[in-house]
Amino acid sequence: MKVHIKSAHLIDPLKQQDMVTDVLIVNGLIEKIGKKVTSDSSFEEIKLNNKILAPGFIDMHVHLREPGFEHKETIETGCAAAAAGGFTAVCCMPNTEPAIDDESVVRYVQERGKQVLGGIVDVYPVAAATKGRKGEELAPIAELAKAGAVALSDDGSPISNAEIMRRLFEYSSMYGLPVIQHAEEVTMTKGGLINEGFTSTRLGMPGIPPIAEEIMVNRDIIILRYVNSAKYHVAHVSTLGTLECIKRAKKEKLNLTCEVTPHHFTLTEEMLSTFDTNLKVNPPLRTVQDVTSIKEGLKDGTIDVIASDHAPHTIDEKEVEFSVAPFGMIGLETAVGLAITELVHKGYLTLSQLIEKFSTNPRRILSLPPILIEEGQKANFTIIDPDKEWIVDVEKFKSKSKNSPFQNHKLKGRAIGIINNGRMYLSIDET
Amino acid sequence: MKLKSRHLLGLEGMTKEEIELILDTAKSFKEVLERPIKKVPPLQGKTIVNLFFESSTRTRISFELAERRLSADVVNFTVVGSSVAKGETLKDTARNIEAMKVDMVVIRHSSPGAPHFLSRVVKANVINAGDGAHEHPTQALLDMMTLREKFGRLENLHVCIVGDITHSRVARSNIYGLKTMGARVSVCGPKTLIPKDIEKFGVGVYYNLEEVIPQVDVLNVLRIQLERQKSGLFPSLREYHRYFGVTREKMQFATKPIVIMHPGPINRDVELSADLADGPHSVVLEQVTNGVAVRMAVLYLLGTTTIVENEVH
């Protein structure tokens, strides 16, 4: 593999670089960076015309569904969706069957990641925090860490028991693994379908109160203050109240970070009037005030990461009564487009800040090696056209499932390719 | 004048003119019901299926009578519990029934939005006979018909809905319909059974019957489900009856004659005392009679409108 990238607008938040340059890549390594580099005919030329070249993006919250739910997604189709969406790496959640609560499953998932699509997408498993994700006994954390798990989570289910959470913080801190919490006080959310408030009252739907999330995050922060060697990461923050308490805890210099999904900064609960089951997600879509506070939280740095919570479900599973449909929507192939449309073009984030939330920050949280854009280093890049206007068409998506409420949405900005592990993927209609 | 939609999914968003059209049509059908021969031909040759996924006696019988009196062919399909539990999806059930060339579907389902979902997957007219705690439009229409008969108007009537508002589709449809018709609406019940942000509908909220009774023209008393007590929403039926049950004792706070309504079935001496249920202020049986007339009106208005061919769903 020999590539000559011409006229790239390189943005590297780590080195605070922002310049138009050429890059030569040979066998997966950066051979040369510079304005006037020359190459021979053995190089494939990619003319970027000032489009963005960024350190490779990682989506630290996806559900690849393998093993166990291959009818929804496989590691292969999930990685194809990641590549098409501009991600050179994904972290897959452990709510598989069997759960990723054993080193053999960690190894299986990693191995499959290396096998599919020539290994262009790095697959980093998040292991279960407790055995079988039941919240009762600690999973074999040392073994899971050794096998390559990058974080611990019972995602989908919260770690409800405070004693287990405390011990999990203590034990995981020995191995430096962050604990990712799906924050939900389940005694308050039983039967809940959508955010509790005016819309749930209007539609007669059982509500999920925002305080169910806030209580859990507050409790975890109290435990974290007590076990301050741990690393705590809040998944898919959805409310103003959660952000306020994360902001306060960050001022205390506690070791906590958080992520938000594109749907939680794009969509609001009013849209549920259609009873579209693709809008049924957990945590639920919240109010305009919550959406505004999330955008502000991204801007002021309270929110570290944008992650999709890519949750594939088949059409048959979703085309049912609202109360019966499973929670979740796919997101790998719309995340970057939504983030550029809603955050960059609307002035909440600069492109450099966007790259931090998709690359630099999640890699730091997960203790993955930073992507160094230097001669001699591995080439790990995401290519973006921030002004590309496109219309979402799920039929063109690589993901096996099509459960996106963004069908036919008009977006401005899109990832158009990735380079990683000596391979390159470019969206067909772009170069 | 016609209804704007091919379906009756709810009263939210329906205009005053549309509601008046239904109530006026119902009035003329009520006259039909007084005749010795109660059958008229407008839906002759039409097939209607009553798709009931929740147990219901009176609503189903009321719909069936309305359908038969309009000369429609009627099929009843009752499955208690979700269709998924039966191994077939709602979509498949509906499409199979439609393949048998059904013109209209009346659906009751425990999941809010089930009729809306159905209206997207079948070509037949869909009538909501109650979807979870969302809407029960024909109940609210028959309530409004009954009140219009009693008072001659709906404007500026003060109606208080009493009881478990959170879990009540009757309450929601009544709020939407009555507000559109210019009535004043309040709700009264224990705070645990009043849903969040209900005041944003422009309704008064009361937690004390003795406070609201002096102000109202109508009490619409809802059925209280025992299972709400088990899920911790109120302490006991005895306490509920004492503080939120409508009794002769509490009616002494009334400053004018108050009409008492109940969508049925009544838990006697729980939410409503037996003497009041059978007393002169109760219009419970008129409600039942009007139910048939209102359903005839809805079926007639939807069923006799020409269906546009090739309509995109």
Nearest to B90 among A206, A275, A320 (CB): A320
Tokens of A356: 């931090």
pLDDT value for B311? 44
Structural domain contains residue B313: no
Per-residue model confidence as pLDDT tens digits over A109-125: 999 999 999 999 999 99
Residues A220 and A291 in one domain: yes
A2-12 and A52-55 strand pairing: parallel
Interval A83-111 mean pLDDT: 98
B141: DSSP letter:
H
> Which positions in chain A touch B135 (Cβ < 8 Å)?
204
DSSP A366: T
Q: Provide residues of A within 8 Å CB-CB of chain B.
A: 193, 196-198, 200-207, 209, 274-275, 316, 319-324
To the question of pTM greater than 0.90 for the whole model, the response is: yes
Phi then psi for residue A415, to 5 deg, are: -75, 135
What residues in chain B have their Cβ under 8 A from chain A's Cβ atoms?
A: 12, 82, 84, 89-91, 109-114, 116-117, 121, 131-135, 169, 172, 195-198, 200-201
User: Looking at the predicted structure, is the pLDDT value of residue A427 above 90?
Assistant: no
Going through A186-269 in order, the beta strands assigned E by DSSP cover 194-195, 207-208, 232-234, 256-260
Chain B residues closer than 8 Å to A200 by CB: 195-196
- Mean pLDDT confidence for A214-219: 98
* Minimum CA–CA partner of B115 in chain A: A321
Give the gap in angstroms from C-alpha B252 to the nearest C-alpha of chain A. 32
In a domain, A371, yes or no: no
B206 and B93: one domain? no
Q: Give residue B10's pLDDT band: very low, low, confident or very high (50, 70, 90).
A: very high
ipTM of the complex: 0.93
DSSP bridge partners of B284: none
**pLDDT tens digits, residue range B79-92?**
875 555 567 888 88
B299 lies in a domain?
yes
For the segment B35-54, the average pLDDT, to the nearest whole number, is: 94
Query: How close A209 comes to chain B (CA, Å)?
Result: 10
Listed in sequence order, the DSSP H helices in A38-99 are: 75-85
Other C-beta atoms within 10 Å of A188: how many? 16
My answer on whether B22 and B113 are in the same domain is yes
Based on the domain organization, do B21 and B78 belong to the same domain? yes
**CA-based Rg of chain A, rounded to a whole angstrom?**
21
Chain A hits for B195, Cβ within 8 Å: 200-201, 207
Q: For residues A35 and A103, state if they share a domain.
A: no
Domain shared by B83 and B171, yes or no: no
Distance from CA of A270 to the nearest CA of B (A): 14
Residues B128 and B181 occupy one common structural domain: no
Does A63 map to a domain? yes
DSSP A178: P
- A289 occurs within a structural domain: yes
B130 and B204, same domain (yes or no)? no
**Chosen domain end from A365, A385, A410:** A365
User: Domain of A151: which CATH number?
Assistant: 3.20.20.140
**A200 contacts B91? CB cut-off 8 A:** no
Domain ends where: A346, A365, A384?
A365
User: Are A201 and B169 inside 8 Å of each other by CB?
Assistant: no
Segments forming the whole domain that contains residue A141: 56-365
Q: Which of A190, A198, A203 to mutate to test the interface with B (most CBs of B within 10 A)?
A: A203
Domain-located, residue A370: no
In angstroms, the Cα distances linking B104 to B43, B98, B126, B228 are 11, 9, 6, 34
Active site (catalytic) residues of A:
309
Same domain, B277 and B296: no
Closest A-chain CA to B167: A204
CB within 8 Å: B197 and A205: no
Examine residue B4 and state whether it is found in any structural domain, yes or no.
no
| One domain, residues A105 and A44 | no
Q: Establish if B296 belongs to a structural domain.
A: yes
Q: Are residues B296 and B208 in the same domain?
A: no
CB contact under 8 A, B111 and A203: no
Q: Is residue B9, in this structure, part of any structural domain at all? A: no
Q: Is residue A308 scored above 50 in pLDDT?
A: yes
| CA angle B42–B47–B49, rounded 5-degree value | 125
A274 and B116 in contact by Cβ < 8 A?
yes
pLDDT for residue A36:
85
How many structural domains are present in chain A? 2
Residues B168 and B196 in one domain: yes
Pair A204, A263 in one domain: yes
For residue B231, pLDDT over 90 is answered with no
Measured at the CA of B94, the angle between CA B88 and CA B98, to 5 degrees, comes to 135
Q: The tokens of A406 are what?
A: 């963004």
In a domain, A358, yes or no: yes
Q: Are residues B156 and B244 in the same domain?
A: yes
List of chain B residues whose C-beta atoms are within 8 Å of the C-beta of residue A320:
84, 89-91, 117
* CATH code of residue B264: 3.40.50.1370
User: For position B57, what pLDDT does the model report?
Assistant: 85
Residue B84 structure tokens: 């998924």
Structural domain contains residue A431:
no
Q: Does one domain contain both A310 and A418?
A: no
Question: Left (φ > 0), alpha (ψ -120 to 50) or beta: where does B46 sit?
Answer: beta
Lowest mean pLDDT among A166-180, A392-406, B45-59: B45-59
Q: Does B312 fall in a domain?
A: no
**Which of A321, A322, A323 would you mutate first to test chain B, the one with the most B CBs within 10 A?**
A321
B278 shares a domain with B299: no
Closest CB to A275 among B110, B113, B198: B113
8 Å CB contact of B197 and A198: yes
| 8 A C-beta contact, residue A169 and residue A137 | no
Q: Which two tokens stand for residue B271?
A: 């939410």
Q: How many domains is chain B partitioned into structurally?
A: 2
Residue B256 has pLDDT above 60, yes or no: yes
Asked whether residue B202 is domain-assigned, the answer is yes
Q: What residues are paired with A415 via a beta bridge?
A: A384
Q: Above 90 in pLDDT, residue B306?
A: no
Looking at the domain assignment, is residue B11 inside a domain?
Answer: no
Same domain, A89 and A228: yes
* Count of helices and strands (H, E) across chain B: 12, 9
Q: How far is A197 from chain B (nearest CA, A)?
A: 5
Domain termination residue (choose one: A344, A365, A386): A365
Q: Which two tokens stand for residue B280?
A: 């002169």
What CATH number did the domain enclosing A11 receive?
2.30.40.10
Q: Are residues A170 and A67 located together in one domain of the fold?
A: yes
Q: Which of the pair, A77 or B226, is modelled with greater confidence?
A: A77
Quote the domain boundaries for residue B261.
Answer: 137-283
Question: Are A354 and A386 contained in the same domain?
Answer: no
Do B133 and A202 count as a contact with CB atoms less than 8 A apart?
no
Residue A357 shares a structural domain with residue A406: no
A190: nearest CA partner in chain B: B231
Count other Cβ atoms within 10 Å, centred on residue A398.
17
B247/B179 same-domain check: yes
- Our CA-based measurement puts residue A396 at a distance from the nearest CA of chain B, in whole angstroms, of 22
Compute the count of residue pairs across chains A and B with CB atoms less than 8 Å apart: 71
Same domain, A131 and A196: yes
Q: Report whether pLDDT(B307) > 60.
A: no
Characterize B152-189 residue by residue with b for buried, 16 or more Cβ atoms within 10 angstroms of its Cβ, and e for exposed. Answer: eebeebbbbbbbbbbbbbbbbbbbbbbbbbebbbbbbb
My answer on whether A36 and A71 are in the same domain is: no
pLDDT digits (tens, 9 = 90+) for B167-224: 999 999 999 999 999 999 999 999 999 999 999 999 999 999 999 999 999 999 999 9
Mean pLDDT for all residues in chain A: 97
Same domain, A128 and A254: yes
